[in-house]
Amino acid sequence: MDRLEPAPDGEPEVATVVDNRGMLCAQGILRLMRSMLTVAPEGIVKVFSSDLAAEHDYPAWCRTTGHRFLGHRREPDAQWGSLVVSFVQKRADEPVP
């Protein structure tokens, strides 16, 4: 996570949050794609996913699109059991429309 200033709790500064709880990962990828349209280059998106396939799908999506996958962590959730919390950094060369 070079060139990023950590937030007080140790996370990178986040430009936007995408809440994909209750969605299949394919739907979550589409929501992540749409959110990238409004994020500045090198901005970070934090994604909450209840579909554990996100652990594999988001890194793969980043490899194919040129965005940078920064990592995952698991968090407990009262409704969904376990959430995957992912961090994705927008490509530096992709402007905001």
Q: Dump pLDDT digits (tens) for 6-47.
A: 444 667 789 999 999 999 988 999 999 999 999 999 999 999
Say which residues have a Cβ less than 8 Å from residue 12's Cβ, sequence separation at least 6.
1, 4, 5, 6, 44, 70, 87
What's residue 25's pLDDT? 82
Considering only CA atoms, which of 6, 57, 52 is closest in space to residue 29? Answer: 57
What's residue 12's pLDDT? 77
What's residue 40's pLDDT? 94
Domains and CATH numbers, the chain: 16-89 (3.30.110.40)
> Which two three-digit tokens encode residue 62?
């980043």
Q: Is 69 within 8 Å of 88 (Cβ atoms)?
A: yes
Pairing mode, strands 81-89 and 44-49: antiparallel
How do the residues of the chain divide into helix, strand and coil, expressed in percent and rounded to 5?
A: 25, 35, 40
Q: Does the pLDDT value for residue 3 go beyond 60?
A: no
Is the Cα dihedral 36, 59, 14, 2 positive or negative? negative
Q: Dump pLDDT digits (tens) for 41-87.
A: 999 999 999 999 999 999 999 999 999 999 999 999 999 899 999 99
